[in-house]
C-alpha cells in the first residue's frame, strides 16, 4: 500500500469521524433548543411510576442523543437529594432505549445526500433570525454532517477490503463462536470506554460492516460491547459524590453488563431473530446480501440490522429488569452500603458535563434555587426563638451564620454554572430563563444577608444588656410572622414556577401589608421612645431590625417579579 493511499484513508476516516461527532453535537443542541421546555417538564414528571420513568429516560435521551449525559444528570440529581435511587433506576433503563435513535438515523443509506442537506441547512442557519427556524436548520445541518461523516468513513475504509494483511487482522475478531463473541464484546467495550461516545463507535461499526470488512454477527457483538463501554462516563461522574449517587452510576453499569452477560449465550439465536425482523418488518434483505453502488460492493442492509440489534437488546433488557426495580435497588444498597459518617449532599450535580445539555442544566440550577429558598426560610424560622429577652442560643446562632456562608458559595456556583451555559448556543427564551435565575440567586443571597444581620443585631443587644419592651416584643413578633408567611408564599411559587397575574397581584397586596405593618411597628416604637419607656440607644437596634424585615420582603417580592417576567 502506497503512502498516498494510507494518507487518504487516514484523512477520510479521521475527518469523517470529526464531522460525524460535530454533527451529533449540532443535532443535539438544536433538538434541545427547540424542546427545552418539554425537556424540563419531562424531568419534573419523574415519579415512583416505573413506566413513567422509562418513558422520561427514553424521551430525554432521544432528545439530547446521549445516554451518558442523561445518566450523569441522574447521578447529579441523586447526589443532590432531588431524586431517590428507586426513581432514577427506571429513567436509566429508558435512557438506554432512547440512545438507539442515533443508530436508526445512521442506518438508512442516505450518505450521498449528506453534503446537499448540510449545505442547504447552513444557508437557513446563517441567514435567518428566528430562533425556531435557526435551530431547526441546526438539527438538519447536524443530520447532514452525520451522513457526510459516515460517507467519508466508508470511503476511507473501502480500500482496506481486498488487502490480505488487513482482512487477516479483522478475521482475528469474528463472532463465529462463543469465544469470538466475547472477544468482540470486549473490543467494543474498550473502544467505547476510550472514546466515551457510543454513537461514534456504532457509526464506525456500521462503516466497517457497510464495506464488508466485518460480518453482521461480528458487528452485533461489537454493539453489545459498546453498550458496556458507554457506562464509563457515568462511572467517572460518580467519583466524589454521595453513596446514593454512586449507586445510580453502578445501576447503569450493571444493567448493561448483566444484559450483555445474559444475551451472549443466546447470541446465535438472537442474531437470526434480528435478520428475520429486518427482512419481515423493514423490507430489507439479509445483512450479508451485497449491493453494487458506483461499481463497488457494499452491504447497506447490515446497517439496519445493526440498528435493530442495538434497539432490541436494550428493549429486551428493560423488559427483563423492569419488574425487579425494587430488589435491584436493594441489591445496590447492599453492594454499596452507607459510610459510617453521614454524607452531606453537595452541589456536584451542577457539573460541567451538563453544559452540553443546557435545557437540563437550567432545570438543575432551578431546582438548586428552590432548595436555596427553603434554606433561607429555615434560617428565618430558626431565628424566631431569638425574638425573646432570653439569652441567645449560641449554637443555633452559629448554625445561621454557617448557612449564610454556605449560601454565598451556592450563589457563586449557580452564577458561574449559568454563566457557562450562557456562553453556548442557546435560544432566546432559555437565555431569559438563565438571566432570571441569576437574579433570583442574587435576591436569595441578599435575604440570607439580612437574616444574618438580624442575628448580629440580636447578639449586639445581648452584649449591651438591652431588652425588648413587652409591646415592642409583641410588635416585632407580629412582623416576623408576617414576613415568614410571605417568604413561604415565594417558596411555593418557586416550586410550581407560578407566573400567573393572580399570584403577582396577591404578592403585591401581601407585600404592601408587610410594609404597612412595619411602619406601624416603627410608629409604636417611636411613641414608646418619646414616652420614656424605651432607651434611645435601644431604639437604633430596634429600627434596624424593622428595616431588615422590610428588606427581606422587598427582595422576596423581586423574586415574584422575576417569576412573572417583570423588570
pLDDT at 562 over 70: yes
What is the per-residue pLDDT for 409?
86
Q: Render pLDDT for 519-529 as a digit per residue (tens, 0 to 9).
A: 999 999 888 88
pLDDT at 566 over 80: no
Q: At what angle do helices 216-229 and 178-195 cross, to 10 degrees?
A: 50
Which of 42 and 368 is assigned the larger pLDDT?
Answer: 368
What is the per-residue pLDDT for 452?
93
pLDDT at 343 over 50: no
pLDDT at 359 over 80: no
Task: Pick the range with the lowest mean pLDDT from 119-123, 304-308, 357-361.
Answer: 357-361
In whole angstroms, what is the distance from residue 373 CA to residue 548 CA?
17
In whole angstroms, what is the distance from residue 150 CA to residue 13 CA?
9
Q: Render pLDDT for 476-505 as a digit per residue (tens, 0 to 9).
A: 999 999 999 999 999 999 988 888 888 889
What is the per-residue pLDDT for 230?
82
- Give me 198's grid cell: 457510543
Q: Report which of 397, 402, 398, 377 is spatially closest to residue 385, judged by C-alpha positions.
A: 397
Helices (H), 497-535: 501-530
What is the per-residue pLDDT for 191?
85
Which of 357 and 440 is assigned the larger pLDDT?
Answer: 440
Structural domains in the chain plus CATH codes: 3-335 (no CATH), 357-564 (1.20.58.220)
- Give me 216's grid cell: 453482521
pLDDT at 40 over 70: no
- Do residues 92 and 262 make contact, with C-beta atoms less than 8 angstroms apart? no
Residue 340 CB: number of other CB atoms within 10 A? 5
Environment class of 454 (CB within 10 Å of its CB; exposed 0-12, middle 13-18, buried 19+) = buried
Which of 105 and 312 is assigned the larger pLDDT?
Answer: 312
- Do residues 457 and 544 make contact, with C-beta atoms less than 8 angstroms apart? yes
pLDDT at 44 over 70: no
In the predicted model, what is the mean pLDDT of residues 135-146?
87
Average pLDDT, the chain: 83
Cα Rg of the chain (Å, integer): 30
Share of the chain above pLDDT 90, in %: 27
What is the per-residue pLDDT for 348?
40
In whole angstroms, what is the distance from residue 426 CA to residue 562 CA?
20
In whole angstroms, what is the distance from residue 63 CA to residue 41 CA?
13
Which of 480 and 57 is assigned the larger pLDDT?
Answer: 480
Q: Render pLDDT for 408-448 as a digit per residue (tens, 0 to 9).
A: 888 888 888 888 888 777 777 788 888 999 999 999 999 99
In DSSP terms, which residues pair with 296 in a beta bridge? 293
pLDDT at 345 over 60: no
- Give me 308's grid cell: 435493530
What is the per-residue pLDDT for 541?
87
In whole angstroms, what is the distance from residue 404 CA to residue 318 CA?
45
In whole angstroms, what is the distance from residue 433 CA to residue 435 CA?
6
Phi, psi (deg, nearest 5) at residue 298: -130, 170
In the predicted model, what is the mean pLDDT of residues 449-455?
93
Cα 135–423–200 angle (5° rounding)? Answer: 60
Highest mean predicted confidence (pLDDT) among 33-42, 338-347, 392-401, 531-540: 392-401
Cα 451–534–542 angle (5° rounding)? Answer: 15
Q: Render pLDDT for 62-78 as a digit per residue (tens, 0 to 9).
A: 877 667 667 777 776 77
Global pTM value: 0.69
Which of 332 and 357 is assigned the larger pLDDT?
Answer: 332
Query: What is the torsional sign of CA 281, 286, 289, 290?
Result: positive
Q: At what angle do helices 501-530 and 470-496 cross, to 10 degrees?
A: 170
**Which residues, in sequence order, are CB contacts of 509 under 8 Å at separation 6+?**
none
- Do residues 206 and 303 make contact, with C-beta atoms less than 8 angstroms apart? yes
Q: Render pLDDT for 169-227 as a digit per residue (tens, 0 to 9).
A: 556 678 888 999 999 999 989 888 877 677 778 888 888 888 888 889 999 999 999 88
Amino acid at each position: 500500500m502506497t503512502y498516498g493511499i494510507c494518507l487518504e484513508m487516514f484523512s477520510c476516516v479521521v475527518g469523517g469521524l470529526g464531522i460525524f461527532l460535530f454533527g451529533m453535537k449540532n443535532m443535539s443542541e438544536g433538538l434541545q433548543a427547540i424542546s427545552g421546555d418539554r425537556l424540563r417538564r419531562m424531568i419534573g414528571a419523574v415519579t415512583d411510576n416505573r413506566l413513567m420513568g422509562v418513558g422520561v429516560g427514553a424521551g430525554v435521551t432521544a432528545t439530547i442523543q446521549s445516554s451518558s449525559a442523561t445518566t450523569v444528570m441522574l447521578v447529579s440529581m441523586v447526589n443532590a437529594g432531588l431524586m431517590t435511587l428507586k426513581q432514577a433506576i427506571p429513567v436509566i433503563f429508558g435512557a438506554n432505549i432512547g440512545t438507539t435513535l442515533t443508530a436508526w438515523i445512521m442506518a438508512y443509506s442516505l450518505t450521498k445526500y449528506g453534503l446537499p442537506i448540510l449545505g442547504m441547512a447552513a444557508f437557513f442557519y446563517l441567514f435567518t433570525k428566528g430562533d425556531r427556524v435557526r435551530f431547526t436548520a441546526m438539527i438538519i445541518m447536524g443530520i447532514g454532517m452525520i451522513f457526510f461523516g459516515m460517507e467519508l468513513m466508508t470511503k476511507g475504509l473501502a480500500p482496506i477490503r481486498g488487502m490480505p494483511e488487513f482482512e487477516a487482522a479483522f478475521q482475528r475478531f469474528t463472532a463465529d463462536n462463543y469465544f469470538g463473541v466475547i472477544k468482540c464484546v470486549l473490543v467494543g467495550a474498550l473502544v467505547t470506554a476510550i472514546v466515551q461516545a457510543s454513537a461514534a463507535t456504532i457509526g464506525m461499526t456500521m462503516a466497517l460492516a457497510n464495506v464488508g470488512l466485518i460480518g453482521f454477527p461480528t458487528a452485533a457483538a461489537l454493539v453489545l460491547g459498546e453498550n458496556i463501554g458507554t457506562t464509563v462516563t457515568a462511572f467517572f461522574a460518580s467519583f466524589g459524590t454521595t453513596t446514593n449517587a454512586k449507586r445510580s452510576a453502578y445501576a447503569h453499569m450493571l444493567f448493561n453488563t448483566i444484559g450483555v452477560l445474559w444475551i451472549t449465550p443466546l447470541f446465535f439465536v438472537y442474531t437470526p431473530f434480528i435478520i428475520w425482523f429486518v427482512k419481515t418488518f423493514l423490507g430489507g434483505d439479509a445483512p450479508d446480501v451485497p449491493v453494487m453502488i458506483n461499481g463497488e460492493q457494499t452491504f447497506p442492509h447490515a446497517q439496519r440490522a445493526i440498528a435493530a440489534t442495538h434497539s432490541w437488546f436494550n428493549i429486551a433488557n428493560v423488559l427483563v429488569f423492569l419488574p425487579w426495580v425494587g430488589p435491584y435497588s436493594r441489591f445496590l444498597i447492599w453492594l454499596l452500603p452507607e459510610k459510617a459518617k453521614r454524607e452531606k449532599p453537595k452541589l456536584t450535580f451542577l457539573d460541567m458535563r451538563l453544559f452540553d445539555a443546557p435545557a437540563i442544566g437550567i432545570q438543575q440550577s432551578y431546582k438548586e434555587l428552590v432548595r436555596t429558598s427553603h434554606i433561607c426560610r429555615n434560617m428565618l424560622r430558626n431565628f424566631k426563638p431569638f425574638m425573646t429577652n432570653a439569652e441567645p442560643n449560641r449554637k443555633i446562632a452559629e448554625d445561621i451564620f454557617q448557612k449564610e456562608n454556605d449560601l454565598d458559595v451556592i450563589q457563586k456556583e449557580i452564577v458561574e454554572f449559568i454563566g457557562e451555559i450562557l456562553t453556548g448556543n442557546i435560544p432566546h427564551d432559555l437565555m431569559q430563563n438563565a438571566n432570571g435565575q441569576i437574579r433570583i440567586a442574587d435576591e436569595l443571597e441578599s435575604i440570607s444577608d439580612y437574616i444574618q444581620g438580624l442575628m448580629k443585631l440580636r447578639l449586639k443587644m445581648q452584649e449591651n444588656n438591652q431588652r425588648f419592651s413587652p409591646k415592642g416584643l409583641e410588635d416585632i413578633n407580629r412582623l416576623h410572622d408576617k414576613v415568614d408567611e410571605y417568604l413561604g408564599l415565594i417558596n411555593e411559587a418557586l416550586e410550581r414556577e407560578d407566573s400567573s397575574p393572580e399570584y403577582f397581584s396577591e404578592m403585591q397586596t401581601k407585600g404592601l401589608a408587610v410594609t404597612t405593618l412595619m411602619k406601624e411597628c416603627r410608629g409604636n416604637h417611636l411613641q414608646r421612645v418619646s414616652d420614656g419607656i424605651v432607651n434611645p440607644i435601644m431604639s437604633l437596634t430596634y429600627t434596624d431590625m424593622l428595616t431588615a424585615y422590610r428588606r427581606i420582603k422587598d427582595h422576596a417580592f423581586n423574586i415574584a417579579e422575576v417569576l412573572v417576567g417583570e423588570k
